[in-house]
Structure 1
Amino acid sequence: MSNHEADPFVGRDTPIPVVSITRPDDPPSSASAIPTPSDKQTGKHHLSAGKLRGKLESLGHGFDRPESSSRVSDRLFTMLLQQVLPSQDYDSDPHTQSQPTKDRRSRQYVERPGFSLPVMSSNFRRFNARIGVAFIFQNRLIRLFTWRQPTQTLSFLSVYTFICLDPNLLVVLPLAACLFFIMVPAFLARHPPPPAYLPTDLYPLSGPPLAAARTIKPAPELSKDFFRNMRDLQNCMEDFSRVHDALIAFISPLTNFSNDALSSLLFVLLLFTGTLLFITSHLLPWRAIFLTIGWITTCAGHPYIQDVLSTPSTSTLLSEKESESRSFLLGLSKADIELETSPEIREVEIFELQHRALHDEHGEYESYLFSPSPYAPLSPARIAGDRPKGTAFFEDVQSPRGWRWSDKKWTLDLLSREWVEERCVTGVEVEMEGERWVTDLHYADVQDESPRKWGKRKEGEGHKVFVNVTSSRQGEWRRRRWVRGVERVPMINEE
């Protein structure tokens, strides 16, 4: 027996699933004649045996050869995934990169391989072949907390009680679990006990091992245990979805500030409780608290208690208590929490720019556009030689996203000197009255022969000396500031 290889460890307590494929000419049985909800909704039909075989034969690579089963399964999984999964890699989408919120799953945050259908198919098959141990552990936990064998559940409660009374024993728990659940079963598999129908003196109790060491191997593809893992994975995903939806339905209305007063009250209560526990946590009897919670949770899974909780009267009572608790919180929030209901008001600005040619000193300024920046002489855009950006008409100026206009029209800012000084704008001329234009100044070198600059006579009286001085005149750009009030748009809950 020691020369034989060990079989894979595939212990299960559940029945083996049966997969059947009907032929087109077979009469519908009682099981196959019942349409599923998905068939009714999507209008799809069952795949007959002839069509399934033709589809698999079209995949090639020797369908009749036994060594090609992995290739056939690989192609089959890839074909199925191509029907339900997109081929686009959303990590490289420029629209998602420009979002202000950081995506913790993006490859910009953590470097991970991109999505690929062949890799997805291969990883799914490898994962499904190795996940059986986790489902065995899950089934044992279900049997433990549903009191299938009361002695095991009471033994668990005894161990849990010892750990709660003496938390130092918690470091012994992993070692004891390794001994009793890994080492002892492995030794018994290597050295099996004598059968009950053989006398002990005829069975060797010493000497070399009588069996090969048992190892945990991945389940072979397309085997019974492989399909069991797929079934358990399917049920696990459904359980997770139900728990996730139930938690979201219970927690989200309380914490997402859809009801500002209720969420604000809950925030105050959590803040007060957290502060109180921060000060008094060392005074609480945590051993007794965890012991009580563990016993109540475990006893709640007893079949008798489950039958009591599942009665209509108990369900109605729990629903009424939940409604009363929510009503109490809503009443308390409306009585003690006062929130500002008027929308937030801000002021936005726009600059009206006018332009004329630099060489046309006596020309008229013409309207150019309305820009969010004043396009000052020393602005980066002006220095770089870029043209101003904006819109040509007042009507095209839109309010910021999430805001709406609170004033009917734009108002000219009469305090032009203040916004010029706030922005430290230089090289401009400010109108204190009138239309409040802020005009660029153009500086140029000219020759001045005024009498004030005459020098001394060298050869004759009245000899003039020309001196280069700097004069200024209005430049090619001028602007003025307009303001208008906006208010934040309130969000309406669509429920």
Structure 2
Amino acid sequence: MDEFTVDAFVNRDDPIPVISFDPQNDLSDEVEGDLSDSERKRDRLKRHGKNLKENMRKVTGQKSEPGTSMQDRILEKLLQQVIPVEDLSSSRAESSPALDYTSRPSFSLPTMSANFRRFNARIGVVFVFQSKVIRLLSWNTPTHTLSFLAVYTFICLDPYLLTVLPLAILLLALLIPSFIARHPPPTTNAAHATYGYSTAGPPLAPPVTVKPVKELSKDFFRNMRDLQNSMEDFSRVHDQVLSILTPATNFSNEPLSSTLFLFGFLAILVMLTASHLLPWRLIVLGIGWTVTALGHPTIQKQMHSVHKQHIIPREVQAKTLLDTWISQDIILDSAPETREVEIFELQKLSSAGEWESWLFSSSPYDPLSESRIRHERPKGTRFFEDVQPPKGWEWSEKKWALDLWSREWVEERIITGVEVETEGERWVYDIRYEYEDSDQGLIYGEDGEGPASPPPKKGKKKALPTWEEGSDAESEGRGRRGEWRRRRWVRMVKRKWQPRRSVSEGSR
């Protein structure tokens, strides 16, 4: 963009001109000739203000939605900066490829407000059904409850009647009431009491249509009240279920969770072998009658008194008996998992012929290792105290122990070109080979930097004796060993205790 200078906005009194390709503007300019100067200025300001609004909407990418105010747009932009909607949808789609949110609109405050109003205007039928179910199960009208139990009994005894139930609901709950609404019975009057109901003739009333309630009406606010209470009920039920299930299933109390797992496994075995022998029709029938009977006010009063007199005083005693049985019969192996880790102590031969401590490395740095072939320096730490356990583990022993079986770990790694000490400090030395260069007549050492000794008379590769082959390792082997030696240290680690982590609903 070009920078604006001071002269660009000198004339502040006139409106900023906006280029427009609307032919109506030309017509309006022709009409302006008949108006006064003040009226022409007022109309011109109005048009420029409208054009400026449209241009701002185009720049910000906002649609001119009806009913959206400037405050809503500002709040929407603020929420879009705070809530990464695109990142949230992409992470959900990656975690579950079946959920594709690309075709769904992103978060928008005006859209959310409009959708809530539309939803609240149409949710009344759900709350009407909920209130009818509550009245039915609470024995508000005993004849209705007994009729429901009769239908439920027939369905339990003959489950094939479930196929008839949707058709019966269609006829009795939808078609017949709609027909009666179009053909209403005559008004009852004492002087004309002999008239009866007749379905003949044309319809006398318009058909019943289900329409959303009007906004800001009494039914609209009733739906908001019921929706508010339903959200609170769901939150309470959700928290209560989690408070009961989570401590017993997340192994925070391992004996209790193990007991629940044991009983669940035994129940699965029993159901796999004896489920076909159980009278499921009678069981479902008894459950339905029991649940419906518990909703009767008289039975609820009796249950409340029984619970207060007999169950609450013995609740602590029953819990104590269960904990005692669990502690005696459920034996858990609470020892953490342990592993053995290793570290190699590397030493290098100095120019004075003495071995100097170099570092502690996770690799033995043998002659044919990849790092030696690439002429890379070994990686590790200089001191024993700086060696850390693997991630997620901790030390189970206080000190490192020297591996006395040096031959075994050398053979396991198939390391060649080394001399193994089976006694003493268990060092594993490099073996230095000498080669005769036929062109130069010189013998180069292992590093290839210069001649190591006078050339022998015969030009061939000569391997000096290893520790096992030599008669005196300290005298003859000192000059034949390479510049590196290593030995293996081991130590036990155990898994580290991890703190409890919370799992949100969206990451499950």
TM-score bin (small chain): 0.5 to 0.7
For 1:388 and 1:324, the matched residues in 2 are separated by 66
Gaps of 5+ in 1: 1-59, 62-66, 98-104, 450-463
Gaps of 5+ in 2: 1-55, 58-63, 440-455, 465-479, 502-508
For 1:446 and 1:87, the matched residues in 2 are separated by 74
Matches within 5 A, 1:13-24: none
Q: TM-score with structure 2 length normalisation?
A: 0.63
For 1:127 and 1:386, the matched residues in 2 are separated by 69
Equivalent position of 1:194 in the other structure? 185
Equivalent position of 1:486 in the other structure? 493
Q: After the TM superposition, which of the residue ranges 478-487 and 220-229 deviates more from structure 2? A: 220-229
Name the SS for the 2:94 alignment partner. coil
For 1:187 and 1:392, the matched residues in 2 are separated by 94
Counterparts in 2 of 1:132 and 1:93: CA distance versus 1, 3 Å? closer
Q: After the TM superposition, which of the residue ranges 336-345 and 234-243 deviates more from structure 2? A: 336-345
Q: Which amino acid aligns with 2:389?
A: S
Structure number with greater CO (CA < 8 Å, separation at least 6) is: 1
For 2:393 and 2:161, the matched residues in 1 are separated by 61
Matches within 5 A, 1:175-190: 175-189=167-181
Equivalent position of 2:383 in the other structure? 393
For 1:324 and 1:419, the matched residues in 2 are separated by 59
Q: Which amino acid aligns with 2:386?
A: D
For 1:345 and 1:88, the matched residues in 2 are separated by 43
Does the CA contact (< 8 Å) of 1:91 and 1:107 recur in 2? no
User: Does 1:406 find its partner at 2:393?
Assistant: no
Equivalent position of 1:268 in the other structure? 262
For 1:80 and 1:228, the matched residues in 2 are separated by 32
Q: Which residue among 328, 331, 348 is the counterpart of 1:338? A: 331
Q: Which residue among 131, 135, 149 is the counterpart of 1:139? A: 131
Name the SS for the 2:108 alignment partner. helix
Q: Which amino acid aligns with 1:175?
A: L
For 1:419 and 1:152, the matched residues in 2 are separated by 83
CA positional deviation for 1:438: 4.0
Does the CA contact (< 8 Å) of 2:89 and 2:101 recur in 1? no
User: Does 1:107 find its partner at 2:94?
Assistant: yes
Equivalent position of 1:172 in the other structure? 164
Q: After the TM superposition, which of the residue ranges 333-342 and 294-303 deviates more from structure 2? A: 333-342
For 1:300 and 1:169, the matched residues in 2 are separated by 26
Equivalent position of 1:285 in the other structure? 279
Does the CA contact (< 8 Å) of 2:367 and 2:430 recur in 1? yes
- How many aligned residue pairs are there? 400
Equivalent position of 1:54 in the other structure? none
Query: Deviations along 1:366-421, whole A, 9 cap, x unmatched?
Result: 65543444455666777788876544432222334554323222122222222233
Name the SS for the 1:107 alignment partner. helix
RMSD over aligned CA atoms reads: 4.6
CA positional deviation for 1:480: 3.0
Q: Which amino acid aligns with 1:193?
A: P
Equivalent position of 2:244 in the other structure? 250
Equivalent position of 2:155 in the other structure? 163
Query: Deviations along 1:200-238, whole A, 9 cap, x unmatched?
Result: 699984236741451455x56665545444433332222
CA positional deviation for 1:256: 3.0
Name the SS for the 1:370 alignment partner. strand
CA positional deviation for 1:141: 1.9
Name the SS for the 1:211 alignment partner. coil
Does the CA contact (< 8 Å) of 1:78 and 1:118 recur in 2? no
Q: Which amino acid aligns with 2:397?
A: D
User: Does 1:87 find its partner at 2:94?
Assistant: no
For 2:377 and 2:218, the matched residues in 1 are separated by 72
Counterparts in 2 of 1:493 and 1:75: CA distance versus 1, 3 Å? closer
Does the CA contact (< 8 Å) of 1:448 and 1:468 recur in 2? no
Equivalent position of 2:233 in the other structure? 239
Equivalent position of 2:206 in the other structure? 211
Name the SS for the 2:132 alignment partner. helix
For 2:78 and 2:178, the matched residues in 1 are separated by 39
Name the SS for the 1:409 alignment partner. coil
Q: TM-score with structure 1 length normalisation?
A: 0.65
Does the CA contact (< 8 Å) of 1:443 and 1:471 recur in 2? yes
CA positional deviation for 1:469: 4.0
The sequence identity of aligned pairs, in percent, is 49
